[in-house]
Amino acid sequence: RPVDKEVDFANYFCTYAYLYHQKEMLCDRVRMDAYHSAVFRNASHFQGKVVLDVGTGSGILAIWSAQAGARKVYAVEATNMAEHARDLARANGVSDIVEVIQGTVEDVELPEKVDVIISEWMGYFLLRESMFDSVICARDRWLKPDGVMYPSHARMWLAPIRTGLGDKKMEDFDIAMDDWSLFVQDTQTYYGVNMNALTKAYRAEHEKYYFKSSIWNNLHPNQVIGQPAVIKEIDCLTATVDEIREVRAQVTLPISMDARLSALAGWFDVHFRGSAQNPGAEEIELNTAPDDNGGTHWGQQVFLLTPPQKVTNGDNVNVSFSMVRSKENHRLMDMEFTYELHELSGRKHPAVTTKIYLE
């Protein structure tokens, strides 16, 4: 089903039209440092080159590209933020190089092919927002055969963690259901209507909200209780939409301490390596893993396992994972986890399957 563009604006693009939101990204030092280094430590990829910035937002990556010596930068932005990007380029003395074009990158026409595509397209758990589709489209339309992608590679990670978030959610859920019971009583008493027919649906709605929704959190590294695993690798130069529309993986997560396994966490990293033909001078990494120097605006995504399970150093958790796009909104994700604890002792717990929504 093709995406209704106006709905997509109502649901998605609208937030990016606020400077408030752009600033949040511009204040993410981990993100900013990585892209800044990627551009300036690989200046030879930019000097005298033609660059396309997919989703320029405030224009920051386009301006850096110009400052690093690009001959021309096409900076494409769907929202009205484009105007601010234009102002910013002018105020920073690069308006002769940076050409801001308002429109979706799927629709724009450029007068030439480009040497570099730079873009900050990553959403929560890498693929939320499905913006990489737009980067693929831009690449296939406008990148020269020997062009390079910034970033060039991306990976999704999954790890076993401990967290109190589930306990808090359980409390809130119980309060919500107690409150519902009172409501059912009161509505019968005062208004003569028996609401009990909706109790099951109300419970299901709240279970989804409290337990089956991915939770944003910047975890501390000591909450990671076993070895993280890569569940998806993307080569930005060659990936197709078909390759990212669904993600499926089977991994074993070895537990490395005695703890309570209460959730899995997901995050991503991306690398800036240039291309095989045309490698960068220095490989730069942008990593959104748990980090005690403070996190990123992406945080990690916490997927609760209910009930939590006691685990021991040496146990293994086998996980099969699938992620597909939500039917109602292709920028949101429906995930399914099936996990199976294999104790070091040899005991195997029965497999448990849970759905989690990344909304």
Ligand X SMILES: Nc1ncnc2c1ncn2[C@@H]1O[C@H](CSCC[C@H](N)C(=O)O)[C@@H](O)[C@H]1O
The residues carrying an active-site annotation are 120, 129
CA-based nearest residue to 237, from 153, 155, 156: 153
Q: Does 230 bind its own copies (CB under 8 A)?
A: no
Question: Which distant-in-sequence residues (6+ apart) come within 8 Å of 160 by Cβ?
Answer: 224, 225, 226, 253, 255, 261, 264, 311, 317
Part of the chain binding ligand X (CB under 6 A), chosen from 99-107, 235-243, 266-274, 332-340: 99-107
Task: Report the distance separating Cα 196 and Cα 55, nearest Å.
Answer: 49
Residue type, 321: F
Crossing angle of the two packed helices 29-40 and 60-67, in degrees rounded to 10: 30
User: Per the structure block, which two tokens stand in for 189?
Assistant: 């008493």
Q: Does 13 bind ligand X (CB under 6 A)?
A: yes
Q: Does 106 bind ligand X (CB under 6 A)?
A: yes
* Residue of 1, 191, 242, 327 interacting with its own copies (CB under 8 A): 191
CA-based nearest residue to 48, from 32, 34, 66: 66
Part of the chain binding ligand X (CB under 6 A), chosen from 70-78, 255-263, 270-278, 309-317: 70-78
Residue type, 96: D
Window 274 to 313, contacts with its own copies (CB under 8 A): none
CB of 120 to ligand X, least distance (A): 3
User: Per the structure block, which two tokens stand in for 129?
Assistant: 């927002």
Residue 78's binding partner, choosing from its own copies, ligand X, none, with beta-carbon cut-off 5 to 8 A by kind? ligand X
Total binding residues toward its own copies, as defined by CB under 8 A = 43
* Residue of 205, 233, 243, 258 interacting with its own copies (CB under 8 A): 205
* Residue of 38, 42, 50, 56 interacting with ligand X (CB under 6 A): 56
* Residue of 76, 116, 136, 255 interacting with ligand X (CB under 6 A): 76
* Residue of 42, 79, 130, 300 interacting with ligand X (CB under 6 A): 79
Q: Does 180 bind its own copies (CB under 8 A)?
A: yes
Residue 357's binding partner, choosing from its own copies, ligand X, none, with beta-carbon cut-off 5 to 8 A by kind? none
Part of the chain binding ligand X (CB under 6 A), chosen from 49-57, 139-147, 316-324, 348-356: 49-57
Task: Tell me the backbone φ, ψ of residue 233, rounded to 5 degrees.
Answer: -125, 135
Question: Which distant-in-sequence residues (6+ apart) come within 8 Å of 198 by Cβ?
Answer: none
Smaller CB separation from ligand X, 136 or 263? 136
User: Per the structure block, which two tokens stand in for 22?
Assistant: 């752009």
Residue 189's binding partner, choosing from its own copies, ligand X, none, with beta-carbon cut-off 5 to 8 A by kind? none
CB of 218 to its own copies, least distance (A): 20
Residue type, 94: V
Concatenated DSSP letters of 79-130: STHHHHHHHHHHHTT-TTTEEEEES-TTT---SS-EEEEEE---BTTBTTT-
CB of 4 to ligand X, least distance (A): 14
Q: Which residues bind ligand X (CB under 6 A)?
A: 13, 16, 25-26, 55-58, 60-61, 76-79, 81, 104-106, 120, 131, 134
